[in-house]
Structure 1
Amino acid sequence: MIVGLIGTIEKKEPTFLHINVNGVIYEVFISINCSSEIKDKNVKLHISHIVREESESLYGFIDINEKKMFDRLLKINGVGPKVAIAICSTFKPNTFAKIVNEKNVSMLKKVPGIGPKSAQRILVELGEFSLEEGALSSSHIEAQMALESLGFKKDQIQKVLQKCESTDTASLVKEALKKIQKI
């Protein structure tokens, strides 16, 4: 079972990568959100290895929370890897957690291939969805350190960063500062 890959990107498309790992090139399917976070040729991905009777597929994630979201979705009856990756492409883990916890069917219906019945079933079967506290992206960690250096309290920073949608460090800091001012 493959659980992670570290290598060099040979080919990058919005929905998949070809990653060279010591001379072996793997095709790894990714979400559009994950694709937008990849800026460098060298990459480290968390992998969900799906083995089916007729094929084996690798799904890669930079953010461990996105992988958790994908794996959790696969456990739902009627949700396969294509639908799960479509959900990951449409929503970031923070946004998805809000949608699930608020039981927001109309937002989930925005995902291509999900109708009202599927959206309702997904929300019922998931119950609640929470993010791993310790598994923040490197951008979140850097933003947290930057805000701490400005004198903000750690618990206040964590609450604000969970509400932020940005992915890069600079945007996260700006967005967090705006939200902290409103508190």
Structure 2
Amino acid sequence: MIVGLNGTVEYKEPTFVHIEVSGVIYEVFISLQSFSAISSSKVKLFTSHIIREDAQLLFGFLDMSEKKLFERLIKISGVGPKVAIAICSTYSANTFATIINNKDIKAVQKVPGIGPKSAGRILVELNGFDVDLLSSSDEPKNKAFSEASEALESLGFKKDKVSKALSTCSGSDTASLVKEALRLLQTI
């Protein structure tokens, strides 16, 4: 199982990249998010290696939260690697975590190839996965967002209201996010 590649970019297109690692060139399928973020010739990708009867495919991601989202999506019935990479191309992992939290079926339907039934199934299957996505992110603000969300929910506020309140807050640490959100939640 290939779980990561560290090498030189030989060729790059919006949907895939060729990476040379110790004399071997790998074709790795990437999201549009990763494509736009790859700026230098040296690259390190987390990969998901999918082995099928007729092919061995590598899907690459610059951050671990995007890889976790992809691997969770392909476990859902009716969602294959192409649809999962389309979701990763349309939304960042953090944005998609917010969509999951808000149960925003319209936002999921904006992804090419996803209709109302698939969007509903994806939201049901990923219920609760948004916390995992936010906590796995490297950014401290997302960790603070996740902690603030848990704190407010433990105070008895509903998850959707907490998410909406936190999305408008500008604080960068848990305490300031909780204070700002409490002020907003008291007016709702």
Using the size of structure 1 for normalisation, the TM-score is 0.76
Distance 1:113 1:134, change over 3 A: closer
Which of 141, 144, 147 does residue 158 from structure 1 map onto? 144
Q: Is 1:36 matched with 2:12?
A: no
Distance 1:100 1:26, change over 3 A: same
- The aligned amino acid for 2:15 is T
Give the match for residue 123 of structure 1: 123
Q: After the TM superposition, which segments of 4 or more aligned residues of structure 1 sit over 4 Å from their partners?
A: none
User: Per-residue deviation at 1:85?
Assistant: 0.0
Give the match for residue 170 of structure 2: 179
Residues in 2 aligned to 1:134 and 1:126: alpha-carbon distance in whole angstroms:
15
Residues in 2 aligned to 1:69 and 1:159: alpha-carbon distance in whole angstroms:
18
Give the match for residue 25 of structure 2: 25
In structure 2, runs of 5+ residues without a counterpart are 149-168, 181-188
Using the size of structure 2 for normalisation, the TM-score is 0.74
- The aligned amino acid for 2:62 is I
Which one has a larger percent helix, Structure 1 or Structure 2? Answer: 2
Distance 1:134 1:117, change over 3 A: closer
Residues in 1 aligned to 2:137 and 2:125: alpha-carbon distance in whole angstroms:
24
Bigger Cα Rg: 2
Give the match for residue 98 of structure 2: 98
Which of 110, 133, 136 does residue 135 from structure 2 map onto? 133
Aligned pair count reads 151
In structure 1, runs of 5+ residues without a counterpart are 145-154, 163-177
**For each residue in 1:126-150, what CA deviation from the matched residue of structure 2 results, as whole angstroms up to 9, or x when unmatched?**
11222253541xxx4xxx6xxxxxx
